[in-house]
Chains A and B, each alone.
Chain A
Amino acid sequence: MSEEHVNKLLEEIRREREEETNVRSEPRRFENSKDLIAFLRKLPVIRSIEITTLPSFLRRLRTGLNITVEDASSAFGVDARELVNLESTGFLPWTVSPRTIAPILSAYRIHIEAITFLTRNSFEIARVSKRISDLDEATQLLSTWLADVRVEFEKGNEVDLLD
């Protein structure tokens, strides 16, 4: 792989970007947390998703909807720093309490199968990047965590996210 090839690719990216106008819109405004939750609950249930990890998905979903960290954290009843942490690239979803994350996942209308898929992707990344010291223990934790998220959905009567 020559330097010339790399430079050619970099030039291609620059050119492609120049051809597009950079449009950015203002964050979506909500009167209060109730409004934000009501807005999210109108979204269709998300079942089919891209191959990515859970934190990356959550971050891009929120930014795609133009919702600020502050508004989201206040609506979900979590600290803004905690939400940023949940959305950060290296975060391991099964290390956060299902009680904390289930309301966020249900507010975004993410189906349990999609959550399973995304969490397993996070697990693969954690495994290959050697961030899991005990693989068996982590596998067990992951299964328990997913089962607990399901229980939280059942408690919240989130039938649409479970069928």
Chain B
Amino acid sequence: MFGAFINSDEFIANLQAGVTAAFELLWIEGVRNVIPFLRSAGFDDPEDIWQDCWLRLFKTNCRGYDPSKSFPKWLLTVAKNRGRDRERKEKRSRTGPVEDIPELLFAVTDENNSGDHKRAALLDEALGTLDPDDREILRLGCELGLKSPEIARRLGSSCVAIRKRKSRLLRKLKRQILRLEDNERRTRQQTTRRDSP
């Protein structure tokens, strides 16, 4: 069972402010609770999934979390989605052509450019909130650069439907990123206010 502190406002605030000690506690909670959960759900590599999950949360300061909801429930859902995503990618790459290598993803890798990196993390976080089918459409369109007819052919849908869905998704993603940026700004302001004499 998760420690009682995990739903506390202080712990959540510390995570969202990027306090290292809070992320160390989160790691321990994950090892105790998330890994067994993933194992009982039948995922092949629960330790690895939790590692990736923690890294994402660490880099995004858990900004995707809505404080009005239960934190443990959100955490398990994030871990579950991560595990399912990996399974789907692995399945796809086994059956697909070479360009379907599993790691054609969005994150920018320039560690020296923190602006780019933050944006990539925000995008990553926003993508995590989408439905897996929607993520797949974006992956095919934005990462692999496939046109709507090709995506439609691969997914067994009509070109018009894919075109509409893609444009709706991009709008949704943009809104989600703006919301996450707002949350981040608010958290920063609260921290500044708290720390000022």
Hey, which bits of chain A sit against chain B, CB under 8 A? 1, 5-6, 9-10, 12-14, 16-17, 20, 22-25, 42-44, 46-53, 56-57, 60-61, 63-66, 89-90, 111, 113-114, 116-117, 120-121, 124-125, 128-129
Hey, which bits of chain B sit against chain A, CB under 8 A? 1-2, 23-24, 27, 31, 37, 40-42, 45, 47-48, 51-52, 54-56, 58-59, 70, 72-73, 76-77, 80, 83-84, 86, 88-91, 93-95, 98-111, 121, 124
Instruction: Find out whether the CB atom of B45 lies under 8 angstroms from the CB atom of A1.
Output: no
Partner of A52, one of B55, B58, B90, B104: B55
Residues A9 and B84 in contact in the complex (CB < 8 Å), given A43-B98, A64-B101, A128-B23: no
Name which of A89, A116, A120 has the most chain B CB atoms within 10 A of its CB: A89
Ranked 9 nearest A-B pairs via Cβ: A64-B93, A1-B72, A64-B102, A117-B109, A50-B105, A128-B27, A113-B109, A13-B41, A114-B109
Instruction: Find out whether the CB atom of B41 lies under 8 angstroms from the CB atom of A56.
Output: no
Instruction: Find out whether the CB atom of A125 lies under 8 angstroms from the CB atom of B76.
Output: no
Residues A49 and B98 in contact in the complex (CB < 8 Å), given A9-B76, A13-B80: no
Q: Per DSSP, are chain B's interface residues mostly helix, strand or loop, or mixed? A: helix
Considering the chains assembled together, what is the distance between the CA atoms of A63 and B109 in angstroms?
Answer: 23
Considering the chains assembled together, what is the distance between the CA atoms of A56 and B84 in angstroms?
Answer: 16
Considering the chains assembled together, what is the distance between the CA atoms of A90 and B31 in angstroms?
Answer: 14
Instruction: Find out whether the CB atom of A48 lies under 8 angstroms from the CB atom of B102.
Output: no
